């Protein structure tokens, strides 16, 4: 009874603290602006099933995809055994499904064990790839410090989890063979016949004569398993492995229009219309008296979908590894852009949590005002994280968008930041100015004295 109470308290605490962290992430994502999206539920469900659940885009790089699949499949199926641990923890009935499912139960646990062994091998290979083989995309400047440590921590936790799983199953197998297991429905001397534990258990633990020691090791494996799960649950919100959860909504809400299609800015579109058609200047949709800000300079100007993408980023570096600008030695790294957005969002979120009035904008600091996202200002913005040189290097080729396994779109925030620099700040690289001037004067990027449509006159003459 005492063990059940302790388990329930620990479980409640783990979910409570994790829940608070996840709610803050939701709050942070919603700091972004609303965005009108194409409503095509069938296509969105299809993308979610094939890409997020089915890992379709991962298999563009087959070998790492196979090893990732081992870990992914083991993670999914292990939840079955996790349900049993919850039942055991609350009601004290170890291996609750054993007596009801019979041979099918043995089959399920055997599959989990085989996948767990494969996941163990994959985890070791990933550690070797990151730390010994030094795959270039894992050793870019933005991966120094916490990102590198974060990538290793989750692999260490995976190994620890698997050790606890096989300690629990192996000792339980030895106890069952001796007729000492406290498994629900287990009677007499027998064997669980699990694919790995059936021979690994006796091999590792068969020499232990003490029943007390075996039961203690079984409980160590049991408690170790669930405590690592709880630790992982609370670690997720500060880790790149948050994509385990957010990959599904991010894929569902991903852009459905053509990758080459860029979103128009209504303010610019209306201005162009008024230039082409003077009567349009008197329409209801004409320009407002207030001069708008174009593009984005901070997270509040991005859409919530951009911020969701930043939190979903797996930091795998596939986007950066195919970026032509990065390949040719320029500073742009699409992965870094998404990591910078997430860092900025986290900074703003932490400041909002303090409630300090020092973060209220001077223009909105009314008597009795409380800090909120609508009046927040700390004197910083995304340009304190992202250098303009990075933005200028982007060729808008969409290679990063195509490469992302969870359909993140780094190009959208890049374009929004660049639009702010060019249109709102009237800044930009000096070698771009002749191009802008030529477009404004002749409608062409080339400074040609002839009108852009002069060639059509030649057609008329023919």
pLDDT in tens, 435-446: 888 877 777 777
| pLDDT of res. 320 | 96
Q: What is the pLDDT of residue 234?
A: 96
Structural domain spans, the chain:
2-30+61-241, 294-422, 426-456
Residue 285 reports pLDDT greater than 80: no
Query: Which of 167-181, 191-205, 339-353 reaches the highest mean pLDDT?
Result: 339-353
User: How far is Cα 100 from Cα 92, in angstroms, rounded to an integer?
Assistant: 16
Asked whether residue 359 carries a pLDDT value surpassing 90, the answer given is: yes
Decide: helix, strand or coil at residue 261: coil
Tell me what pLDDT residue 291 has: 64
pLDDT band at 259 (very low <50, low <70, confident <90, very high): confident
Q: Angle 211-235/146-177 helices, nearest 10 degrees?
A: 150
Say what the pLDDT of residue 180 is: 87
pLDDT surpassing 90 at residue 365: no
* Phi, psi at 204, each rounded to 5°: -90, -35
* Whether residue 161 has pLDDT greater than 60: yes
96 pLDDT more than 70: yes
Pick the more confident residue, 444 or 164. 164
Please check the confidence at residue 448 and state whether its pLDDT lies above 80: no
430: confidence class by pLDDT, cuts 50, 70, 90:
confident
Mean of pLDDT values over 428-434: 83
Q: What's the CA gap between 408 and 47, in Å, rounded?
A: 13
What's the pLDDT tens digit per position in 111-141? 999 999 999 999 999 999 999 998 999 999 9
pLDDT at residue 107 greater than cutoff 70: yes
Average pLDDT over residues 3-25: 96
The stretch 282-299 carries a mean pLDDT of 70
For domain 294-422, give the fold. Answer: Fumarate Reductase Iron-sulfur Protein; Chain B, domain 2 (1.10.1060)
pTM of the model: 0.89
The fraction of the chain above a pLDDT of 90, given in percent, is 69
Residue 237 tokens read as: 């919100």
Choose among 418, 238, 254, 265: nearest CA to 345: 238
- Chain mean position to CA 83: 25
> What CA–CA distance (Å, rounded) separates 82 from 89?
10
As a whole number of angstroms, the distance between CA 150 and CA 237 comes to 12
Q: What mean pLDDT, rounded, does the chain reach?
A: 89
**Residue 413 confidence (pLDDT) above 60:** yes
- Nearest in space to 87 (alpha carbons), one of 254, 79, 164: 79
> Can you give the pLDDT at residue 432?
84
Q: Nearest 5 degrees, angle CA 275-CA 277-CA 279?
A: 115
pLDDT digits (tens, 9 = 90+) for 183-239: 776 666 778 889 999 999 999 999 999 999 999 999 999 999 999 999 999 999 999
């Amino acid at each position: 009874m005492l063990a059940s109470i302790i388990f329930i308290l620990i479980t409640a605490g783990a979910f409570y603290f994790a829940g608070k962290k996840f709610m803050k992430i939701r709050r942070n994502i919603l700091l972004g602006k609303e965005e009108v999206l194409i409503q095509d539920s069938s296509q969105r469900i299809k993308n979610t099933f094939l890409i997020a659940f089915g890992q379709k885009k991962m298999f563009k790089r087959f070998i790492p995809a196979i090893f990732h699949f081992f870990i992914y499949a083991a993670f999914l199926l292990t939840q079955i055994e996790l349900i049993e641990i919850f039942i055991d923890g609350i009601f004290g009935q170890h291996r609750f499904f054993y007596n009801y499912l019979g041979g099918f139960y043995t089959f399920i646990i055997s599959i989990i064990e085989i996948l767990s062994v494969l996941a163990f091998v994959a985890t070791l290979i990933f550690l070797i790839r990151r730390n010994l083989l030094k795959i270039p995309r894992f050793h870019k400047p933005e991966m120094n410090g916490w990102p590198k440590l974060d990538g290793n921590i989750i692999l260490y936790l995976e190994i620890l989890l698997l050790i606890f799983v096989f300690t629990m199953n192996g000792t339980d197998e030895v106890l069952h063979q001796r007729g000492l297991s406290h498994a629900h429905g287990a009677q007499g001397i027998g064997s669980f016949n699990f694919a790995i534990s059936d021979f690994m258990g006796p091999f590792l633990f068969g020499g232990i004569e003490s029943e007390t020691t075996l039961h203690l090791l079984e409980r160590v494996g049991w408690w170790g398993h669930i405590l690592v799960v709880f630790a992982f649950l609370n670690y997720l919100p500060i880790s790149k492995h948050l994509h385990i959860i957010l990959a599904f909504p991010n894929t569902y809400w991903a852009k459905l229009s053509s990758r080459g299609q860029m979103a128009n800015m209504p303010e610019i579109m209306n201005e162009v219309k008024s230039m082409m058609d003077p009567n349009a200047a008197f329409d209801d949709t004409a320009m407002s008296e207030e001069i708008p800000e174009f593009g984005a300079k901070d997270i509040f100007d991005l859409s919530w979908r951009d911020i969701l993408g930043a939190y979903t980023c797996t930091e795998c570096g596939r986007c950066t590894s195919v970026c032509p600008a990065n390949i040719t030695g320029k500073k742009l790294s699409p992965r870094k852009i998404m990591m910078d957005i997430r860092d900025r969002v986290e900074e703003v979120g932490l400041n909002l949590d303090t409630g300090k009035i020092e973060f209220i904008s001077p223009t909105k600091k009314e008597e009795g005002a409380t800090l909120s996202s609508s009046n927040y200002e700390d004197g910083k913005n995304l340009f304190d994280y992202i250098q303009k040189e990075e933005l200028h290097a982007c060729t808008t080729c969409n290679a990063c968008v195509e490469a992302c396994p969870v359909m993140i779109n780094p190009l959208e925030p890049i374009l929004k930041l660049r639009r702010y620099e060019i249109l709102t700040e009237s800044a930009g690289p000096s070698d771009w100015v002749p191009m802008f001037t030529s477009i404004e004067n002749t409608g062409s990027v080339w400074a040609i004295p002839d009108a852009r449509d002069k060639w059509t006159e030649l057609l008329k003459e023919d």
